[in-house]
Every structure is written in C-alpha cells, then in structure tokens.
Amino acid sequence: MSLPVELFALLGALLLGVLLADFIFQLALALRAHLLPRLLPPLHLAAKFGPWAVVTGCTDGIGRAYVEELAKRGLNIVLISRNKEKLIRVANEIESRYQVKTKIITVDFSKGQSVFYQIEAEIKGIPIGILVNNVGKQYTYPTYLTEVPEQELWDIINVNIGATTIMTKMILPQMVARKRGAIVNVSSSSELQPLPLMTVYAATKVFVKSFSEALRVEYQSEGITIQHLSPFFIKTKMNAFSYRLQESSLLVPDAETYAKNAINTLGRVNHTTGYWVHGLQYFFTMIPPMWIRTYIGAFMNQTFRKDYLYNNKSVSFL
C-alpha cells in the first residue's frame, strides 16, 4: 500500500473514531438527562438551591408550566411578566393549589434598562435559589429582515438578550454569597444554525447559548448551576403563526409536558433540549453540515410563512 493511501486510511480511521466518540458521549448525556431522572427520586430543589424561584415570562407557555412544576415541588415563586391581571390569576392559582408563597412584579422587558431598577428593589431580601430566564420574543411570523418593524427588532433584542443578561447579573451575587443556586436559560433549537426569515430571533438565541456556556465556566467554582435549554417546537402562543405547530404531538409537545420533563433534568445536566424526543431531533439535526441545516431552516420557515399569509390575507409589507 502506498504512503498516500495509508495516510488517507489513517485519517479516515481517526475521523471515524472522533465521530464514534462524539456519538457515545452524546448518547451518555442523553441517557443521563432523560433516563436517569426516571430511575431516581426527584431532586429536592428547594433544599438543593434555595426556597424561592424567579420565573420571567411566566403567564403563558413554558414559563407558566415551569411555575406550576416549581410550585408543585414546594418552591415559592416570584412571577415577573407584563400583564398584571394574568399575574394575579396565576399567583392565586398556585398559592391555593400548592400552599406556596408568591410575589408578582409587573414589568415589560421590551422597555429596556429602566425596568430592572424596579425588579431589583422588589426582590431585595428574597433568598432566590432558582432563576428561570424564560421571557422571550419571537417574530410575529417568518419574515424578511426589511419587513420587520424596527421597534419589533429592538423589542426582540431587549427581551431575549437584555432580560437574560441583566436578570442573571442581578441575582447571581446572592447565589454566590450562599455558594448555591441555579440559573436556567431557555434558548431554542434555532441556536443550532443561522435561521433565514427569523434571522434576529435566532441570533439572539446564539447569544443565550454562548452566554450560558461562558458563565458556567466563570462560576463553576462557586457552586452555581447554569443550565441551558434548547427546545425544538412546542405548542405555545409564540408558535401560533402556523397551524402545524398548534397541535400537540410526540414531536411538538404542549408546554406542560415539556416543563415536566425539563425540570427533572435540573441539577443533573447543564445542557439539554429538556424533552427526550427533542434530544433525538437534536442528534439528527447536528449530523448535516451547517449550510445544509441553514437551507432546511429556510425551507421550513418559508412553509410557515405561507401558512400565516394564507390565513392573514390582509397582511401588508413595509
């Protein structure tokens, strides 16, 4: 066998070895995230992290379901959202159902820096063990950048990047002082590749991923858990632009099913999709190169865009 052929054979074997090792590693993480919690008793989250949790964007969707699951496990909840009536209703429901304490804070994160002074004043003295950075803003429907109103772009940046960053900075010091605590940053599978027609939304989720991974290293010696969630499609109002995403299924769970699965991974894995079927989707999504994933994302969003425009024929473009 000639030297060039031997070198190619060696490189091929090395590549195969790397791919196999990565597959085994990802499989081990998936088993730890989704199988282990089913075999072991649930963690006592209040004892491990602290008696209070803060959940942003908590009156609908994943945030509302997280509130339910955390209260069910005995945590008191600080509920932060922009709709006071919904906040009061959610607070009353979980107080009566689970005999926990609540505090509501009414703010609109799209307003930017000014809202955080109010939040900081209102949570002063509350021993917060878990922060769920869930609040997020999506495009109304898949849209070309020049069609998106400028204010909507600022709102997406302020909510998806600003709220996650400043809420974390605000609450971390007390966690570090107690040497325990957990921060859950809810991202999206849109972080896995550029996503045409949801360009800015997907880019903000790349920020959440990078922010979470760097933060984990910064505070790994302080006893702080930084968990980063990358869910695929979930039946929520945020995905109401397509009827295809408004029917619960194995691939598109409702928020309650998702949160019940995701919360069981807290304290066990640092990064997960939060739902076992989404874990399978994650594995197969990452096989093709990024340029192929980008074009697949563009095709899917063109389909969702057509769904929305068909049902909203009065939509005009900028």
**Both tokens assigned to 57:** 């964007």
Contact predicate 190/201, CB 8 Å: yes
Query: Among 244, 139, 232, which residue's Cα sits nearest to residue 189?
Result: 232
Q: List the beta strands (DSSP E) in the chain.
A: 52-56, 76-81, 102-106, 128-133, 181-186, 224-229, 271-272
Query: Which positions ≥6 away from 269 have C-beta within 8 Å?
Result: 29, 32, 33, 227
**Both tokens assigned to 22:** 């990565």
Contact predicate 53/75, CB 8 Å: yes
Residue in the structure block whose two tokens are 């099913």: 257
Q: Identify the active-site residue in 201, 258, 275, 282.
A: 201
Radius of gyration in angstroms for the set of CA atoms belonging to the chain, rounded to a whole number: 21
Looking at the DSSP bridge assignments, the partners of residue 254 are 235
Query: Which positions ≥6 away from 303 have C-beta within 8 Å?
Result: 242, 244
Query: Among 104, 39, 50, which residue's Cα sits nearest to residue 73?
Result: 50
**Both tokens assigned to 278:** 């989404």
Q: What are phi and psi of 77, to 5 degrees?
A: -125, 130
Active site residue 201: yes
Angle between helices 164-178 and 199-218 (to 10 degrees): 20
122 burial type by CB count under 10 A (0-12 exposed, 13-18 middle, 19+ buried): middle
Which residues form the catalytic set? 201
